[in-house]
Amino acid sequence: MSSDLWEVFVRPRRGLSHTHVGSVHAPDAAMALRNARDVYTRRQEGVSIWVVPAASITASSPDEKDSFFDPAADKVYRHPTFYEVPEGAEHL
């Protein structure tokens, strides 16, 4: 169920920017935020959290041999699980 994977970004205090710290599973955004708070900040004060569905992230990285503009190569994780397989498509 890759649809329930959320990436978590935390800003530990004012003046710093948000940093990626890992991921959590949650059925929706409200639970994702609360789960991220419990898992990655243990409810410290003054911390700002962003959660983003992993599937919503568009990514690139510097050393790639793929064309920067290749639309199939812009997901955050390279490997097949994170692509949605269309109904009826077997052996993908």
Partner 1 sequence: MNAQLFEVCLRIGDDALISAQRLAEWSAAAPELEEDIALSNIALDQLGVARLMLSYAGEVEGAGRDEDALAYLRDDREFRNCLLVELPNAGPAAGPHAPIDFGVTMARLLFVSTYQLLLYQSLLDSSDERLRDIAAKARKESAYHVDHATQWTIRLGDGTEESHRRMQAAVDDLWPYTHELFTGTAPSGLVPDPASLRAPWLESVTDVLTVSTLTTPPDGWAPSGGRDGRHTEHLSYLLAEMQVLRRAHPGATW
Partner 2 sequence: MSGPSLSPEPQGAQSLLDQVEQAERALKEAAARDRAHGEDEQSHFDAVIGAEQKVEPRDWMPDPYRKSLIRQIAQHAHSEIIGMQPEGNWITRAPSLRRKAILLAKVQDEAGHGLYLYAAAETLGISRDELVELLLTGRQKYSSIFNYPTLTWADMGAIGWLVDGAAIVNQVPLCRSSYGPYARAMIRICKEESFHQRQGYEILYTLARGTAEQKAMAQDAVDRWWYPSLAMFGPPDARSTHTEQSMAWGIKKFSNDDLRQRFVDMCVGQAEVLGLRLPDDALRFDDARGHYDYTAPDFEELAQVIAGDGPCNRQRISHRRRAHNEGAWVREAALAHARKHA
List residues near partner 2 by CB under 8 A. Answer: 1-2, 4-5, 22-25, 27-28, 31, 39, 59-61, 63-65, 76-82
Name the nearest CA neighbour of 59 among 1, 7, 16.
7
| CA angle at 21 for the pair 27 and 29, rounded to the nearest 5° | 20
Q: Which of residues 44-83 bind partner 1 (CB under 8 A)?
A: none
- Six token digits for residue 41: 């900040």
User: Can you tell me which of 9, 11, 12, 35 binds partner 1, judged by CB under 8 A?
Assistant: 35
CA-CA distance, 28 to 18, in Å (whole number)?
21
The entry of partner 2, partner 1, none near residue 34 (CB within 5 to 8 angstroms by kind) is partner 1
> By the criterion CB under 8 A, which residues form the site for partner 1?
24-27, 30-31, 34-35, 38-39, 42-43
